[in-house]
A = this chain, B = another copy of it.
């Protein structure tokens, strides 16, 4: 399986036109294994267990690289720092106005998304990102 994983990461890098490095591969695997919207520091902490000498700067550089090259998607942030979207399915976010917790909600479950691709003013729609602001069950 290591061979398989290594191979697909190679392919992924090839597809996105970026070089394969050990740090990059471990970073990628660690991020894949995280859910939600991890912060760079959280990612760094985990990667450090596998590569103790890795630098935080490298983590930042590669998170950006992954986002820019389309490997991961950056999410619009309610956190104060850069976050990456680890849920690859179409979904939106419920943001608790009290405790600030963010929970994913599937596009189906939310059930309000339009199919329009062009808006007044000529704006061309790529996708909708909905934040539902409200109270989570715990805070009600």
Q: Which positions in A face B, CB cutoff 8 Å?
A: 76-78, 94-97, 103, 105, 109-114, 116, 119-137, 140
Contact = CB atoms under 8 A, between A and B. Distances in A.
Given A103-B121, A119-B105, A140-B124, A131 B129 contact: yes
A135 B128 contact: no
Nearest to A137: B122
Contact of A125 (B114, B132, B137): B132
Contacts of A122: 136-137, 140
Given A111-B114, A119-B94, A124 B131 contact: no
Contacts of A116: 111-112
Contact of A123 (B76, B119, B128, B136): B136
A113 B78 CA distance: 21
Given A78-B76, A114-B112, A126 B134 contact: yes
A109 B19 CA distance: 45
Closest 8 A/B residue pairs (Cβ):
A112-B114, A122-B137, A126-B134, A129-B131, A125-B134, A124-B135, A94-B123, A124-B134
A91 to B, nearest CB: 12
Contacts of A123: 94, 96, 103, 105, 132, 134-137
